[in-house]
């Protein structure tokens, strides 16, 4: 069974990916796939909230019912502002297997 580990891009993903993969494969004997989640940006343009996020290699959701292609991994406070307050965005994009 393959184990997926998701790490954000701000964690120096290439170095972390190598170290975590080596550790888990050697110590626990696991088949490991490291998924690096991308950056998300939100801005207001012409009265619309524009959200951009990096696409990921499709990987199983927590329930296993769908394949996640982009996710903010929870709610993220963005630099977009409405009435002087920051806009918080939670985003999940998926496909059916």
The pLDDT tens digits for 38-76 are: 678 889 999 999 999 888 889 898 899 999 999 887 888
Q: 70 and 26, same structural domain?
A: no
Residues 87 and 43 in one domain: yes
User: CA-CA distance, 17 to 37, in Å (whole number)?
Assistant: 12
Mean pLDDT of the chain: 78
Residues 55 and 65 in one domain: yes
Residue 73: its pLDDT value, please? 79
Separation CA 93–CA 97 (nearest Å): 13
Q: Are residues 57 and 91 in the same domain?
A: yes
Question: Distance between CA atoms of 94 and 75, rounded to whole angstroms?
Answer: 17
Specify the pLDDT at position 11.
47
Residue ranges making up the domain that contains 63: 39-97
CB 97 within 8 A of CB 68: no
pTM confidence score: 0.59
Residue 77's nearest CA partner among 60, 90, 92 is 90
The confidence score (pLDDT) of residue 56 equals: 84
C-alpha 59/C-alpha 10 separation (Å) is 20
Count of domains forming the chain: 2
């Amino acid at each position: 069974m393959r184990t997926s580990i998701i790490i954000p891009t701000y964690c120096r993903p290439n170095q972390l990916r190598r170290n975590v993969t080596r550790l888990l494969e050697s110590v626990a004997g696991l088949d490991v796939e490291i998924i690096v989640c991308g950056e998300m940006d939100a801005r207001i343009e012409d009265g619309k909230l524009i959200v951009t996020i990096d696409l990921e290699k499709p990987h199983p959701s927590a329930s296993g019912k769908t394949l996640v292609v982009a996710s903010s991994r929870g709610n993220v406070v963005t630099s977009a502002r409405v009435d002087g307050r920051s806009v918080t965005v939670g985003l999940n994009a998926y496909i059916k297997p």
